[in-house]
Amino acid sequence: MDVLSPTDEAQRLQDEGQRLFLQYIEHGAIDDLEGAMNALESAVEMSSDNDIKASRLSKLSEVRAFAFEAYNDAQWLRWAMETLAEAIKLVDKPAYISDMGQMWRLHFSSEETEDYAERLEELDEAVEYGRWAVEVADDGDEGLSNYLNSLALALLARFEQNGTPDGLEDLQDAIEMLQRAVELSPTDATYRCHLADVLRARFQSLDDTEDLTKAIAMSQVALDSTPDDQPNKAIYLSNHAVSLRERYERTGSIEDLEGAVAHSERAVELTADSNFDKPRWLTNLGLALRCRFEHRGEISDLDRAVFVSRSAVELASEVPGEEVELTAICQNNLSLALFARFERLTELIDLHDALEAAEEAVEFTQDISPQKAGRLMNLSTMLRARFSHSDDVNDINRSILEGRRAIEYCPDTHPDAAIYHDNLALSLHTRHDKFGDGEDLDAAVASHDNALSSTPSGHREMAPRLQNLASSLKTVYERSGEIAQLDVAIDALQQARELLPSGHADTGALLHSLGVMYAMHYANSEEEYESRLYYERALNVLKLASTDVSCSPSTRLSAAISWADLQSKREYGDPALAVPIWDYVLNSLFPLVTWLGQTIFHRLSAIGNLGTYGAPANAAAAIAIETGKLPLALEWFEQGRSLVWTQTLALRTSVDVLRESNHANLANEFERVTKSLEQASNPSRRMGDDKVRGASDYAEASAQHTLAARYEEILTEIRNIDGFGDFLRPIKFERLRRAARDGPIIIVSSHESGCNALALCSSGDIIHIPLPRFSQRLGHNLLRSIQQALGHQRGDRALVTHESQKNPTMARVLRALWLYVVQPILQVMEAELFMLAEHRTPRVTWCGAGSFSALPLHAAGIYDSSPTECIAISDFVVSSYVPNIATLLAVENRTTLSPQEISALLVVVQSKAPGFRPLPGTIQELNIIRDRFAPASPTALLDADATVSCILNAMSQHPCVHLACHGVQHSGDPLRSYFALHDGRLELADIIRTPLPHARLAFLSACQTAANYTAILDESFHLAAALLVAGFPSVVGTLWAIGDQDAPEIANEFYAALLAGEDVPRALQMAVLSLKTRVGVEEFTRWVPFVHFGS
């Protein structure tokens, strides 16, 4: 075998090293990489010619740089740089010098050190080597374009790290370098794409849209000249999409927005999951989808944004070398997508998950990263949002802390410094609003001023910052009463309005704020001309805000309510003109706020966030009464009551008539969607469960949003069919009047303008009964008095004893209800009731709003006189309750209970539920019922047999059910109100999920089953109402804790009357009268709590 000369052997080793290196790039085998390094190291050692040795050193340096990425060890990068430095010493070739600049940039991005000055020095080295390469290169050097490109990227990196106005010189130099590169290599798409990136960076700093237009044009040329099968096509697509999205944010161009989504989607499609760039493209797609949601308001875009952002986080964790910063980027964008969905749907679990992702983003971000401040600000914003729901002072204090940290991480000269000052001001203002510390408000105004003073005139963020300043100044006015402060606030909002482009997503919220301030000025202006001027301005902008479809539904609703209230003012307005506005509020905006795409829990949360939900409906009804439109007042009152229950009943609507009208396919589709939507609306897990939300939960949420959208489409299709135009629309008076077939329905409501009752008579007529001596405030005070008087008795059947429960407070409450509410109503209805009393005591059904929905109207009377002088409502009528009129209509075809149905009774007894006090009286109750029904034998589930699954199964097979156990009302999450059983809780949510086709009567001999102590009184979210919705036409419940020894007596007398042929409400009244006679009328807490709901 011939022995090769040293020169030839060195060449063979070089070729072998090159072959192994290419093989490594193709297959990724570490053995090939190590073999390539060994071969090249030997080739270098055998080289004597400087040019050849330098060339081999350069190649060895490149291979060692790949080893840095393969091993994720910065030592390899340092060796690569040392190797390249040797090559440059031998031959100062521009290509070697330029490569050294790139390695310095790579070393900077490797995050080897957290010393800010040291890192800047690395970028300085990258720039200096880049300039050196360009300077020593001949004009004819084929690599000059690449040297210019490398230098430009180093300059861009240094600008991004510096972020100061002084750094704009680097940005300008980078643009010039890339422009030269494009001129030298006009067909190279990479240089055009990089030039577009740098132009976009300058736009972000100077807000000159011409830069963005040039960037888009440049990247479009790069795209057009690059086939889909080229590796860089996805990069060009994604970067182009970013530019289009930013121009949309600046100009509002829908074409740009759609282009951003389409190009981002294409970039994702062209990139395999194994490609380390995929997380970036997914993140950019998520941002584009989020923008499109803000424009179109389609939840599906937001769901997709969350989904792709989560996918980006999962893929980022698998990227070697860059997983820390890339994970931070992806987590940050996931948090923003989740937060956007929270702001729209107010689902607290989205806020919870957004905060987790924001915390991760901050944790994964190095202190020296220029992104640190922005991610701290996002965290601060989300903590502030959580404080608004949690009232946890730690949240707002930490929001302020993180806001201040963000400012510390950002130099005052940085273009983004204003953002962080504005965010801190918002948190300080929020804390002031809660705790009233004037220093917080002063600091907030000062921070707003700092933000505005560092914001260039005409900058796109000027408008929101002016709006935030105006909000703080409005608060200053409210504290000081100085109208000048309000004038300054209004001026700031007017400036902001002029700066916002047409169709901007923030316009509605701004107009709402401006309308509120105009209205404040109207109310406090001394001159009539000025007062009228501000009144007209307020009407105008509130109308615009409430009809701005790009605005959130809750903001639109608030604006519309303010608009309607203002129009109702008789000084300048006209109540008649407010009628169509209230119609718009109730029929167009309420459904958006309580969208079926959300779970019941989250719809209740959304209602709770609006404050007293029934108040707008009561206000609307008050206007309808004032203008003489009593049927309309009744319709509107109904729309403000138990909306979530009404939605649940609507999902169970029969479509047999539709099917019989030759639309079987549409009827089947409606049933499929409504069944799925009802199940999705009431999931088994809600916020607060000890389980991390995973991909399946997001898929379920997205599926529910899709179902809700399809439900709305089907409704539109059905309503377009002749004869179905009113299908599932709010119930009109002509149908509502049918509900009074068993006796008058009396609606009682309160509003700041006064309290009223509307009596829907059996004839279908409406009687309006003013209640001038009652007020909203009195109602809340009476309810508070009851709650204070009950104390511990509100919660536990086992704690109520036979000891005297005389309660003078309760007597005063019942006296006030009689004098100010019940007696005036009965006096006006005397003739109607007299006609109904021919054969027996007439029956009335109460339907109350606000505090009326929790006050014991059925027990009103004067009981502090001698027994012969007592006056009780039960002397005149039999009382029932309903959460809304629709409840009665849902069972209007049900017949009276038959003896066979009564005999088919299911009795559930839980005398010793784990974790609760024993209830021996429940055993006595069971025995009494058995004796009463003898010789028939009711089905009984006792103690260990009374499991959740057994009871639900038995309830679905029995028409009547009697539950004797502990009942617990959960005020924080009404769906978790429950009956305590042997193996756990039978929750309200379980009941409404279960089909109960035979349901006729439910007797809830447990505590608090009809207690309405939640913050959302008008929703009547308690166990008794849940049984109504589940299908029971008639339910007996309790307002508070009942005595364990009283319950058996009530059951005995009730079933005795029922078996004797009495209807349910009369049977209950007879049972209560028996107990009241035995224990004494003054023992209010023992006989008052038993109530009847339904027909």
SS (H, E, C) 415-458: CCHHHHHHHHHHHHHHHHHHHCCHHHHHHHHHHHHHHHHCCCCC
What confidence category does residue 407 fall into, taking pLDDT thresholds of 50, 70 and 90? very high
809 C-beta neighbours (distance < 10 Å), count: 14
pLDDT surpassing 50 at residue 731: yes
pLDDT surpassing 80 at residue 862: yes
Cis peptide preceding 995, ω within 30 of 0: no
Q: pLDDT tens across 200-230, in order?
A: 988 888 878 899 899 999 989 889 888 888 8
C-alpha triplet 963, 969, 972: angle, nearest 5°: 150
Helices (H), 481-574: 483-499, 507-524, 528-546, 553-567
Residue 754 phi/psi, 5-degree rounding, is 150, 170
Is the separation of the CB atoms in 1015 and 983 below 8 Å? Answer: no
Question: What is the 8-class DSSP label of residue 974?
Answer: G
Q: What is the CATH number of domain 780-1095?
A: 3.40.50.1460
Please state the rounded mean pLDDT for residues 602-630. Answer: 77
pLDDT surpassing 60 at residue 694: no
Q: pLDDT tens across 632-681, in order?
A: 999 999 888 877 777 877 887 888 898 888 999 999 998 898 888 877 77
* Angle between helix 50-71 and helix 6-27 axes, rounded to 10 deg: 30
Residue 223 phi/psi, 5-degree rounding, is -65, -45
What confidence category does residue 257 fall into, taking pLDDT thresholds of 50, 70 and 90? very high
Q: How remote is the C-alpha of 647 from its chain's centroid?
A: 19
Question: What is the 8-class DSSP label of residue 943?
Answer: G
Mean pLDDT is lowest, of 430-434, 797-801, 830-834, for 797-801
- Between CA 246 and CA 263 the distance in angstroms is 14
Enumerate the domain spans of the chain.
9-68, 92-109+116-135+142-184, 654-727, 780-1095
What confidence category does residue 689 fall into, taking pLDDT thresholds of 50, 70 and 90? very low
pLDDT higher at 302 or 686: 302
Phi-psi sector, 1061: left (phi>0), alpha (psi -120 to 50), beta: left
pLDDT higher at 809 or 864: 809
Q: How remote is the C-alpha of 904 from its chain's centroid?
A: 45
pLDDT surpassing 80 at residue 741: yes
331 C-beta neighbours (distance < 10 Å), count: 28
Is the separation of the CB atoms in 1012 and 1023 below 8 Å? Answer: no
Question: What is the 8-class DSSP label of residue 731?
Answer: P
pLDDT higher at 55 or 797: 55
Q: What is the CATH number of domain 92-109+116-135+142-184?
A: 1.25.40
Q: pLDDT tens across 341-373, in order?
A: 998 887 888 999 999 999 999 999 888 788 899
Going through 233-358 in order, the beta strands assigned E by DSSP cover none
pLDDT value of position 300: 86
pLDDT surpassing 80 at residue 36: yes
Q: How remote is the C-alpha of 964 from its chain's centroid?
A: 38
pLDDT higher at 33 or 1014: 33
Could you check whether 92-109+116-135+142-184 and 780-1095 share the same CATH topology? no
pLDDT surpassing 60 at residue 729: yes
User: What contacts 129, CB < 8 A, 6 or more positions away?
Assistant: 97, 98, 100, 101, 104
pLDDT value of position 892: 58
pLDDT value of position 711: 87
pLDDT value of position 596: 80
pLDDT surpassing 80 at residue 547: yes
pLDDT surpassing 60 at residue 685: no
pLDDT value of position 348: 84
pLDDT surpassing 80 at residue 938: yes
Please state the rounded mean pLDDT for residues 943-954. Answer: 91
Please state the rounded mean pLDDT for residues 410-426. Answer: 86
What confidence category does residue 339 fall into, taking pLDDT thresholds of 50, 70 and 90? very high
Going through 202-322 in order, the beta strands assigned E by DSSP cover none
Q: pLDDT tens across 899-928, in order?
A: 888 989 999 999 888 888 888 889 999 999
pLDDT value of position 1013: 59
- Between CA 12 and CA 386 the distance in angstroms is 67
Please state the rounded mean pLDDT for residues 863-884. Answer: 86
5 CB burial (10 A radius; 0-12, 13-18, 19+): exposed
Average pLDDT, the chain: 86
With tokens 């960076």, the residue in question is 201
- Between CA 70 and CA 268 the distance in angstroms is 25
Q: Which residue, 749, 663, 642, is CA-closest to 992?
A: 642
pTM > 0.75: no
What confidence category does residue 21 fall into, taking pLDDT thresholds of 50, 70 and 90? confident
pLDDT surpassing 70 at residue 114: no
pLDDT surpassing 80 at residue 1020: no
pLDDT value of position 323: 63
Residues for the chain: how many in total?
1095
- Between CA 322 and CA 330 the distance in angstroms is 12
- Between CA 518 and CA 516 the distance in angstroms is 5
Q: What percentage of residues in the chain have a pLDDT greater than 90?
A: 40
Instruction: Give the full edge-to-edge strand order of the sheet including 754-760.
Output: 766-770, 754-760, 745-751, 843-848, 878-881, 1090-1094, 1034-1038, 1001-1005, 960-964, 905-909, 939-942
Q: Which residue, 597, 590, 598, 607, is CA-closest to 1021?
A: 607
Residue 278 phi/psi, 5-degree rounding, is -55, -45
With tokens 């290509």, the residue in question is 95
pLDDT surpassing 80 at residue 408: yes
User: Which residues is 872 bridged to in the sheet?
Assistant: 861
Is the separation of the CB atoms in 273 and 260 below 8 Å? Answer: no
Q: pLDDT tens across 489-540, in order?
A: 999 999 999 988 777 778 999 999 999 999 999 999 888 889 999 999 999 9
Please state the rounded mean pLDDT for residues 261-281. Answer: 92
